[in-house]
Amino acid sequence: MRRMLRLIPLVLLVALMAAACGGDEGESLPAGDSGTAQTDTVVDEPGTTAPTTTVTIPEAATEIPDIQINLVEFGDAGFVQIINNGDSDASLDGIILCQFPTYVDLGEVIAGGTVAAGATAQVDAATMGGLNAAGGEAALYTARDFTNPDAILGFVQWGTGGARHEVATAAGIWPAGASIEPDPAFNNIELFGDPADPESWS
């Protein structure tokens, strides 16, 4: 009996301690939970983020028009040559060839006002105000809106250049500040590749 009386305070003490360690309102913590808040750590896997890219050429300028300048012959007997890279005849009506401050409507100066698929047409140097190897330009426009980047579709500049390079750069068809230095061994510059790449001209 005495042993039982001694055990009662001990049992009460254990019961009180157990009650103090329990959760609020009789709730108990899940098995293995220490009661400390845990935060999940997310580790980014390498290569899961898409790299950012810079587009230097406007999307509208990535498709090269069928009508392009492909040859400039210098001197009094020189000319600017236009080529039709398309699969069908192209009307030149309203297509303007410009070397500041001179411009001509190709539909009016090219016989028939068209150029056949795969064929070329030439505009002589006198009509272009002269073609000097020291410097000049040739620009193709779809309208007589010469400061509008949406109206220019072809451009080449050589030597000291001309006045339309900034418009061509804004249109994404010519690099800023670029100019071709003609080879003294030849009297022309000719296109072999992308017309927007000065290194394609030689």
Q: Is residue 3 part of a domain?
A: no
- The parent domain of residue 66 ranges over 60-200
Mean pLDDT, residues 83-109 taken together: 95
- Is 109 inside any structural domain? yes
Query: Structurally, how many domains does the chain consist of?
Result: 1
Classify residue 40: in a domain, yes or no.
Answer: no
Locus of tokens 């890219």 = 53
Q: In angstroms, rounded to a whole number, what is the distance separating the alpha carbons of residues 67 and 127?
A: 19
91 within a domain of the structure (yes/no): yes
Is there a domain that residue 8 lies in?
no
Question: Is 172 a member of any domain?
Answer: yes
Domain assignment of residue 79, yes or no: yes
The confidence score (pLDDT) of residue 195 equals 92
Residue 30: CB atoms within 10 Å: 7
Length of the chain as a residue count: 202
pLDDT at residue 130 is higher than 80: yes
User: pLDDT (tens digit, 9 = 90+) per residue, 136-178?
Assistant: 999 999 999 999 999 999 999 999 999 999 999 999 999 999 9
How many CB atoms are located within 10 Å of the residue 159 CB? 17
Q: What per-residue confidence (pLDDT) applies to 13? A: 41
Q: Is the N-terminal amide bond of 101 cis, ω within 30° of 0?
A: yes
Alpha helix positions (H), the chain? 2-21, 106-109, 165-170
Residue 68: which pLDDT band, with cuts at 50, 70 and 90? very high
Q: CATH number of the domain at 92, please.
A: 2.60.40
Mean pLDDT of 175-193: 95
pTM: 0.68
Residue 51 DSSP SS3: coil
Residue 144: both structure tokens together: 């007589």
- What residue has token string 């012959």? 73
Alpha-carbon distance values, 26 to 15, 22, 52, 86 (Å): 14, 7, 55, 84
Q: Do residues 67 and 115 lie in contact, with contact meaning Cβ atoms separated by under 8 Å? A: yes
Q: Assess if residue 11 is contained within a domain.
A: no
Evaluate if residue 113 carries a pLDDT over 50.
yes
Residue 124, pLDDT above cutoff 60: yes
Quick: pLDDT tens for 22-58: 444 434 333 434 343 333 333 334 333 333 333 343 4
Return the residue matching tokens 């000097």: 132
CA distance 202 to 200: 7
Q: Dump the DSSP string for 134-164.
A: TEEEEEEESSS-TT-GGGEEEEEEEET--S-
